[in-house]
């Protein structure tokens, strides 16, 4: 087979030229944001809370939130709850470790006794 010099020397076909494949709609959600022009500045991503005063959702005062509201009956009950939760978690982990350690020692003793008597 001989090499061809280039596209200019190719023979011209009398067949119809092929068309590109038809457009197939892609699956998934469509793009909802508008494509911006060259001179347009990009849209802001977040609203800032400068100048916004937070309010208590129970009494609507701006001096406190619902955690410190005098009308909240459970306000004092949840004080330092995270400390209690962490202590309980550590206690459970230590109990699980001692139980696992005790069971492995017990298995060793049983295997040793089986070895002696058999």
pLDDT at 102 (0 to 100):
60
Does the pLDDT at position 55 exceed 80? yes
pLDDT over 90 percentage in the chain: 11
- Indicate the average pLDDT of the chain: 80
Residue 80 reports pLDDT greater than 80: no
Q: Is the pTM of this model over 0.95?
A: no
d(CA 77, CA 82): 12
Contact 69, 75 (CB under 8 A): yes
CA distances from 79 to 64, 65, 83 (A): 16, 15, 9
In angstroms, how far is the first alpha carbon of the chain from the final one? 84
Can you tell me whether residue 85 is helix, strand or coil?
helix
Band (21; pLDDT cuts 50, 70, 90): very high
* Whether pLDDT at 115 is above 70: no
What length is written for the chain? 118
Give exposure, 85-109, as e/b (b: 16+ Cβ within 10 Å). Answer: eeeeeeeeeeeeeeeeeeeeeeeee
């Amino acid at each position: 087979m001989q090499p061809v010099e280039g596209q200019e020397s190719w023979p011209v076909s009398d067949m119809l030229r092929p068309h590109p494949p038809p457009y197939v709609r892609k699956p998934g959600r469509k793009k909802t944001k508008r494509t911006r022009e060259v001179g347009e500045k990009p849209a802001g991503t977040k609203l800032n809370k400068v100048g916004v005063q937070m309010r208590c959702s129970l009494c609507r005062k701006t001096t406190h939130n619902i955690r410190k509201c005098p009308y909240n009956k459970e306000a004092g009950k949840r004080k330092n709850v995270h400390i209690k939760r962490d202590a309980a978690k550590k206690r459970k982990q230590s109990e699980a470790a001692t139980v696992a350690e005790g069971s492995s020692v017990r298995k060793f003793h049983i295997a040793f006794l089986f070895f002696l008597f058999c």
